[in-house]
Structure 1
Amino acid sequence: LVWAVGVLALQSPPLAGLHPAVEESRILRSLDERMPAGMLTQAVVELDPLPEIRGPEPDVAPPEKGIVSDPDVRSAARRAVRVTGVACGYGVEGSGWVAAKNLVVTNAHVVAGEAATRVQPRGVGRSLRAETVLFDERNDVAVLRVRKLDLPPLPLASPRPGESAAVIGFPQNGSLDLQPARTGETKRVYSGDAYNEGPVERVVTGFRVFVRPGNSGGPAVNADGEVVSTIFASRADSSNVGYGIPSQLVQRHLSVAAERTEPVSTGGCAN
């Protein structure tokens, strides 16, 4: 516990005053050297509670399993990121994807109320500090600015009903995961917002796919590796239906976020 708190102190701006003392602690240094690399994340991160909505059920064929081996899809997966942070004393973990130079798209509920947000390219190695520059609680979209991200952006495309797709992310705070999917229709629905308040009217794309906590904010890509939607929820009465925010809406947000240089408020905690 002391080790976990110590490392969080190094990452959280409100605790920045503790940084020198923590760095000089021989006990923490020794623990840090001996603990497995992934144990901190497992110890302090509460799995993203994937929202459930009662959206339309995709009336499409089963997913094509082979799409997860497609070269364009595998290339897209290299531009997925793990998103972690601390909100109201709890760790929160989700997924995201590189959408423009130094910009990452994720869900608003993943970063809501966070004192510190980090992005880990491909879910391994060093994590980078992220600032939220756009926060849309109605549609559950957030755009993060990550300096020195140094990853090429993923292209976007409109979702087409019936097309083969893959959902990319870090479910259950695990390693990079690709799930075969089939794109359903894009429709207007009434559901909760990023804080599960509402109902609000919004546009969502349905997928026949297995999604889990931690998939929130991850991309759904087509066979060409283009992002067609950003996953944010599962269906309340089904284990193989997920919902995403269509790329057309995300594209409009990216145009706004690209012009912003200062962070915006992420409101209160969603979880």
Structure 2
Amino acid sequence: MTLTTGLGGSPRGPEFVSPGIFVSPGNEERAAGVPAGAPARRWPLVAAAGLALVAVSAGTGGAAGYLAGSPTAATPTTGATSVPPPVAGVPSDLVGAAARALPGVVSVQVRTGSGGASGSGFVFDDRGHIVTNNHVVAAQGSVTVVGSDGRRLTAEVVGTDPNSDIAVLRVTPSAALRPLAVADLSATRVGEPVLAVGSPLGLSGTVTAGIISALDRQVRLGGTVRQTAVQTDASINPGNSGGPLVNARGEVVGVNTAIATLEGGGSIGIGFAVPIDRARQVATTLIGRG
């Protein structure tokens, strides 16, 4: 059983088993993470069966998904055992945050001979570098980005890092492409309002609101090693991949990467983003190499 979400009905990656869900004999390989395309076996219908973590790029023919593993239920999250002091100066003006973020967010479109994929990205610096997800550009086709002003620019892939699911593109610098500021994660708190900005289902310039649900959620994104991710309940759907999760100041908290979904459905209010500290470090390294 392969989950299908987003444009074109392309596979988004195999299921994973949520903690506490029974795995029938012979299906352990699905729980361990067998790549998409392997022979599928049906799971028993039990409570919460079908819960899966899937990439949120939107394919238009080719498979743009990647493998993502199950969260670790026992991992404590920031703020789970103690109540932090109130954060002074956290604004509540999400309209202003959207206005600051949108000029720095782009749609990313990949075209290959057999189809392609689409996702989102954001401007990393004033030299034309764009951060997105590795799984968005993994099809290795021609890449273009569309800015908030509607201009379409040819992009070069500077470098990719599958383990962190981060990729860097480069386009001709433009005054219309404004670099986004990054947040200080050490000062970020669970419960803060955030916006997911990107092009879900090809709808460019879409903004959805929520809060930070957890800061140190252990998940497997892109590679085989579990890493911490920022969890949010902001609506994230296919096409949001690579777009920024921003706080109420318009600063990037993380790079939207995956969602939990039930039986191939869309967002159920559990999304994950690569923390901006890790994404910035990887992007800086890729730019230095490229």
The amino acid of 1:170's aligned partner reads S
Give the one of 60, 71, 75 matched to 1:55. Answer: 71
Give the one of 195, 199, 202 matched to 1:166. Answer: 195
Partner residue, 1:103: 129
Matches within 5 A, 1:174-189: 174-187=203-216, 189=218
- Cα distance, 1:209 vs. partner? 1.8
Give me the whole-angstrom Cα distance separating, in 2, the residues matched to 1:162 and 1:181: 9
State TM-score, norm by structure 1.
0.68
Structure with the largest fraction of helix: 1
The alignment-based identity, stated in percent, is 29
Give the one of 215, 218, 222 matched to 2:240. Answer: 215
Partner residue, 2:147: 121
- Cα distance, 1:156 vs. partner? 0.5
Partner residue, 1:83: 108
The amino acid of 1:106's aligned partner reads T
Give me the whole-angstrom Cα distance separating, in 2, the residues matched to 1:43 and 1:205: 24
Q: How many residues align?
A: 210
Give me the whole-angstrom Cα distance separating, in 2, the residues matched to 1:190 and 1:223: 25
- Greater shift, 106-115 or 43-52, is seen at 43-52
Matches within 5 A, 1:178-257: 178-187=207-216, 189-193=218-222, 199-237=224-262, 239-257=268-286
- Cα distance, 1:254 vs. partner? 3.0
Matched, 1:156 2:196: no
Where in structure 2 are there 5+ consecutive unaligned residues?
1-57, 81-90
Indicate if the aligned counterparts of 1:88 and 1:113 stay in contact, CA closer than 8 A.
no
Give me the whole-angstrom Cα distance separating, in 2, the residues matched to 1:94 and 1:54: 23
Indicate if the aligned counterparts of 1:95 and 1:218 stay in contact, CA closer than 8 A.
yes
Per the alignment, do residues 43 and 93 of structure 1 end up closer, same or farther by CA in structure 2, a change over 3 Å counting? closer
Indicate if the aligned counterparts of 1:46 and 1:93 stay in contact, CA closer than 8 A.
no
Indicate if the aligned counterparts of 1:172 and 1:212 stay in contact, CA closer than 8 A.
yes
Give me the whole-angstrom Cα distance separating, in 1, the residues matched to 2:285 and 2:216: 24
The amino acid of 2:214's aligned partner reads E
Give the one of 130, 138, 147 matched to 2:155. Answer: 130
Indicate if the aligned counterparts of 1:47 and 1:214 stay in contact, CA closer than 8 A.
no
Where in structure 1 are there 5+ consecutive unaligned residues?
1-41, 61-65, 262-271
Per the alignment, do residues 246 and 43 of structure 1 end up closer, same or farther by CA in structure 2, a change over 3 Å counting? closer
Where 1:114 maps in the other structure, the secondary structure is coil
Give the superposed CA RMSD.
3.0
- Greater shift, 248-257 or 78-87, is seen at 248-257
